[in-house]
Amino acid sequence: MAARPPGGGGSAEPEAIEFGIAALDARLEESDLTFPATSQEILRALDHPEIPYDSKGRTIELAAGLEEVSQSEFENETELLDALYPVFDEARRGGGGFLDGLRDALPF
């Protein structure tokens, strides 16, 4: 997932802010990780990262996300991303308290 930051009225198109699966996918593309891979191999290859799970920059440690997944070995990148999608989605839905939800609902 990605969200565009608020525009500044300039003619140049703003860069997208990557979070969730899109952010993890970008980290995987930059690494030299090969599949099949275990959770530990993934963490070592990515240097135990924190991955942003929403457009506000809140993060989740990849190690914590992998602990919530029922498998520890992944045949390919798609299998890894599919397994982690619910973890990022749950973090995004439950990531804030009442005040965060109220702020998100306001138009400013």
Encode pLDDT of 22-72 as tens digits.
999 999 999 999 999 999 999 999 999 999 988 888 899 999 999 999 999
Range of the domain at 65: 21-95
pLDDT at position 4? 47
Q: How far apart are CA 86 and CA 82, in angstroms?
A: 8
Token look-up 């990849």 returns 62
Q: Does a structural domain hold residue 44?
A: yes
Q: Does a structural domain hold residue 45?
A: yes
Domain count, the chain: 1
Kindly state the average pLDDT of the residues 4-14: 50
Q: Does a structural domain hold residue 6?
A: no
Q: How far apart are CA 2 and CA 25, in angstroms?
A: 12
Residue-wise pLDDT tens digits, 68-102: 999 999 999 999 999 999 999 998 888 555 555 55
